[in-house]
A and B are shown apart, each in its own frame.
Chain A
Amino acid sequence: MQEECLLTMRGIVKRFPGVLALNGVDFTLREGEIHALMGENGAGKSTLIKVLTGVYQMDGGEIKVDGKKIVIRSPQDAQDHGISTVYQEITLCPNLTVAENMFIGRENGPMVRRKANEKRADEILNKLGIPARSTQQLGDCSLAVQQMVAIARAVDMQCKVLILDEPTSSLDDKEVQMLFGLMRDLKSRGVGIIFVTHFLEQVYEVSDRITVLRNGELVGEYLTEELPQVQLVSKMIGKELEELSSLGDAEEKNDKDAEVFYEAEGLSSSEAMPFDFTVRKGEVNGFTGLLGSGRSESVRAIFGADKVNGGTVKIKGKPAKITRPIDAMKHGIGYLAEDRKRDGIIAELSVRENIILALQVMNGMFRPISRSESEAFADEYIKVLNIKTASRETPVGSLSGGNQQKVILARWLLTHPDYLILDEPTRGIDVGTKLEIQKLVLKLAEEGVSVTFISSEVEEMLRTCSRLIVMRDRHIVGELTGSDLNQTKVMKTIAGGEAQ
């Protein structure tokens, strides 16, 4: 039985300077199906969505809606072809009423037909079972209802293809169920839904089909019921299960007896769910999990980078209060942020100035580091870390990604931390530098520095870490040490116990 193909994308190519973001990707959406689009960071799913919604122009390939070839030049074009998108962050106006949000920007003539719009809005809201009234101020509704109003607007615009981009990331369980109810209802009306999410369980709960992308290429399209979770994870990460099993176990490192440096109990922040975590002296451990599983949020909580809500923290057995980064730094904790452009480097400052930054902050502003001292520090670390820069006074912004990363590493090493958190230190840098950083991590550990290492590449984690904390859907779901440290086991834990 061949269902009606609502939307077909064939051989989609999209280039960015220096990167091939989409390389001949195919995607097919059938009438009345919920189709999950999956992939890790950089897989190309958001690029594909943006090509489809007219935010980006594709460099090759073709898009057909209802069998007719179309060209999408702008978001308005996409809407005219019946392709509507509901974004993660709600793109409605909270100060207007529900009805106004549903009709504004698509009326004809200079006047607003207020009464007629309110009547029509109430009809649609009733039909879709959305618990809102047309005359309510949108800002008074819950986030889930606001999202549903955005969907109702799309539905009323006769959309055939509805794209939901991470719609559930800010909703609680009950709200997610409400949204799923609405999605199923739309599906039964023949709307094709593209569901982008990183919550695996939700994919299995609501979707009919899954398309997996990796590194800008199509991995495959599968019926949800025929693809076990662990298979899905291995397809997203890019290792076949058989291949994984044949890999040897990681070398066991014996540091179980070392003293505990850091201990957290029930630590939680505005972004992270409560978790327990201990770090031993000289240990390299890692947080792993898919994007959005809460790994970065957890380490940010350790460093006090987000608002800490609760939990107790002990350092070397003594209670400590870490609510701001400066508290963490004073306790000898360093944090290399995931997004080095936003949270790390100060592009206009020189290599030298960037390197001494953290040390200066710790010394306080009344004990400046002398020029000759800072020059000596900079020269030392440029040499130790092999930073490729024209001189120590070169602005950091002009260095390559890998060298920028080393500058930030130097900044933290200069403070002689007892515990260093490295969040994706190897992302977007060349293989040689990656290896250098991995070696450095191991060397630091030998010198007695504890390191927490986060990377999207499981292999890299296995090479460096003696203990892995596995997270899924914002909770720690497992801790792997010793002989459990192999790719198969890691992926099974990421995918969830039921797949074992």
Chain B
Amino acid sequence: MKTSFFKRKEPLTDTQLLMTIAIGIFVVMYVLAIVLLGGGFRRPKQIFDMLNDNASLIIVACGLTIVMIGGGIDISVGAVTSLVVMSCVLYLNSGGSIVVSVLLALGIGLGFGLVQGFLISYLEIQPFIVTLAGMFFARGMTTILSVNPQKADHAAFAELRNTKIEISWLGYTAKNGNRMPAQIELGVVIAFVCLVLVFLLLRYMRLGRGFYAVGGNQRSALMLGINVKRTRFLSYVLSGLLSGVSGYVFLLHTGAGNATNADGMEMNAIAAAIIGGTLLTGGVGTVIGSFFGVLILTTIKKIVVTSGLNAPWWQSITTGGMLCFFILLQSVVLSRRAKKKKT
């Protein structure tokens, strides 16, 4: 894809431009970290760890990217993820089967997506309000299911959790002589499948281009013959469904359910999407960008930790500052571009 748009003499579209900025910033940031901080950043394993820890965030960010391109917002995704984790743990611990637990996860996500999408698109209620309600509802349900942390105790599931792709040569040898191989968890594979599917949907399918049209100009989209209500409805359904997937991947990573799981994940996902070049106003964005948005957020955190500022507030402060910086950079780039067009 990259080569194809360098071949063209066309200027990049807003979407491509913002995505390119995100990728560029990630590369620069990571290279600087390697050069200046070294340590963990020198080891390829670092990247794999980042992916393993953030597989469910990547999936949720994919869903949010869809919704945000369509001009909406979905802040229920973190709470739904948490509800799915808790429901699946309790179900598995009661002796359920893997297949049914997967269906349960997808079903909960889909249910939230359908109801929220219906309220937002067909009853025309503010998306922020609807998904805020969804968020409180899902959090409440999680706590009702169990106040105490629940550890998954299920043989087949434990096996599934331990399914990892090991790449020994990318690992490193620790000080005590143990070989630490780079590992890819099952969740990362699922996240990449989601990423590719959403990418294809957004780029090559009618529905995907419909999201861009609706987010770009809703009235125009209607005049161009797009079913605006259905398109918007489906964006929330997809986001809900992906929250379900995210919940299962979360459980695969942690192996336990907790009422505070995925706390604030929706905000991280929104931040990642914005850093990756998705505009809150809709119509512009890519999942590739959001993926790099997740990596950038994680890299910032790792840099803060590696620099010795190992306190949660330093991570928050740095993330906040960087988020501001990205937004400013984006708006400067876009407004300069708009000016250039006029002259």
Contacts and interface: CB of A to CB of B under 8 A. Distances in A.
Interface of A: 75-76, 79, 87, 90-97, 100-101, 104-107, 109-112, 114, 133, 135-137, 139-140
A143 to B, nearest CB: 11
A27 B317 CA distance: 68
A45 to B, nearest CB: 20
Contact of B223 (A75, A109, A114, A135): A75
Interface stretch (B5-13, B32-40, B106-114, B239-247): B5-13
Contacts of A136: 10-11
B212 A93 contact: yes
B256 interface: no
A109 B206 contact: yes
Given A110-B207, A111-B205, A111-B206, A91 B10 contact: no
B204 A91 contact: no
Contact of A95 (B205, B210, B212): B212
Contacts of A93: 212-213, 216-217, 220-221, 224, 283
B153 interface: no
B209 A96 contact: yes
A262 to B, nearest CB: 34
B183 interface: no
Interface of B: 8, 10-11, 13-15, 204-210, 212-213, 215-217, 219-221, 223-226, 283-284, 341
A79 B8 CA distance: 34
11 contacts: A90-B220, A93-B212, A93-B213, A94-B217, A104-B206, A104-B210, A104-B226, A111-B205, A133-B10, A136-B10, A140-B11
Contacts of B205: 110-112
Contacts of B207: 110
Given A91-B223, A95-B15, A106-B224, 19 more contacts: A91-B224, A93-B221, A93-B283, A94-B216, A94-B217, A95-B216, A95-B283, A97-B13, A100-B213, A104-B213, A104-B226, A105-B221, A109-B206, A110-B205, A110-B206, A110-B207, A111-B205, A111-B206, A137-B14
Contact of A106 (B204, B210, B217, B225): B225
Contacts of A133: 10
B217 A105 contact: no
Top-4 shortest CB links A-B: A105-B225, A95-B216, A93-B216, A95-B283
A100 B284 contact: no
B206 A92 contact: no
Contact of A101 (B219, B224, B283): B224
A135 B10 contact: yes
A276 B219 CA distance: 40
Contacts of B11: 136-137, 140
A84 B8 CA distance: 33
Contacts of B15: 95
A274 B216 CA distance: 35
Which of B206, B215, B283 has the largest count of A CB atoms less than 10 A from its CB?
Answer: B206
A87 B209 CA distance: 23
A94 B205 CA distance: 19
B224 A114 contact: no
B209 A104 contact: yes
B333 to A, nearest CB: 14
Contacts of A79: 225
Contacts of B221: 93, 104-105
Given A107-B206, A114-B204, A95 B225 contact: no
Contacts of A87: 223
A159 to B, nearest CB: 14
B209 A100 contact: yes
Contacts of A75: 223
A112 B209 contact: yes
Nearest to A93: B216
A82 to B, nearest CB: 15
Contact of B14 (A92, A95, A100, A111): A95
A107 B224 CA distance: 11
A383 B217 CA distance: 50
A109 B8 CA distance: 28
Given A94-B216, A111-B204, A112-B206, A104 B224 contact: yes
B204 A140 contact: no
B319 to A, nearest CB: 28
B284 A95 contact: yes
Contacts of B212: 93, 95-96
A105 B216 CA distance: 14
Contacts of A111: 204-206
Nearest to B337: A140
Nearest to A92: B220
A96 B213 CA distance: 7
A414 B8 CA distance: 66
A136 B341 CA distance: 12
A50 to B, nearest CB: 13
**Most B CB atoms within 10 A — which of A79, A95, A100, A114?**
A95
A114 to B, nearest CB: 7
Contacts of B213: 93, 96, 100, 104-105
A147 B142 CA distance: 53
Nearest to B218: A93
B82 to A, nearest CB: 33
B10 A96 contact: no
A306 to B, nearest CB: 20
Contact of B219 (A91, A94, A107): A91
Contact of A140 (B8, B208, B220, B341): B341
Contacts of B225: 76, 79, 104-106
| Residue from the set A75, A133, A139 with the largest chain B CB neighbour count within 10 Å | A139
Contacts of B220: 90-93
A95 B215 contact: yes
A97 to B, nearest CB: 7
A110 B200 CA distance: 12
A92 to B, nearest CB: 5
A407 B15 CA distance: 51
Interface centre among A75, A92, A97 (most CB of B within 10 A): A92
Nearest to B215: A95
Contacts of A112: 204-206, 208-209
Counting chain B CB atoms within 10 Å of each CB, the highest count among A92, A105, A106 belongs to A105
Nearest to B226: A105
A94 B217 CA distance: 8
B13 A137 contact: yes
Contacts of A106: 224-225
A101 B220 CA distance: 10
Contacts of B217: 91-95
Nearest to A142: B341
Nearest to B219: A91
A100 B13 CA distance: 13
B5 to A, nearest CB: 9
Nearest to A109: B206
Given A136-B10, A137-B14, A92 B215 contact: no
Contacts of B208: 112
Contacts of B219: 91
B261 to A, nearest CB: 35
A27 B205 CA distance: 42
A362 B213 CA distance: 46
A94 B279 CA distance: 14
A139 B217 CA distance: 12
A253 B206 CA distance: 69
A358 B202 CA distance: 53
B279 to A, nearest CB: 9
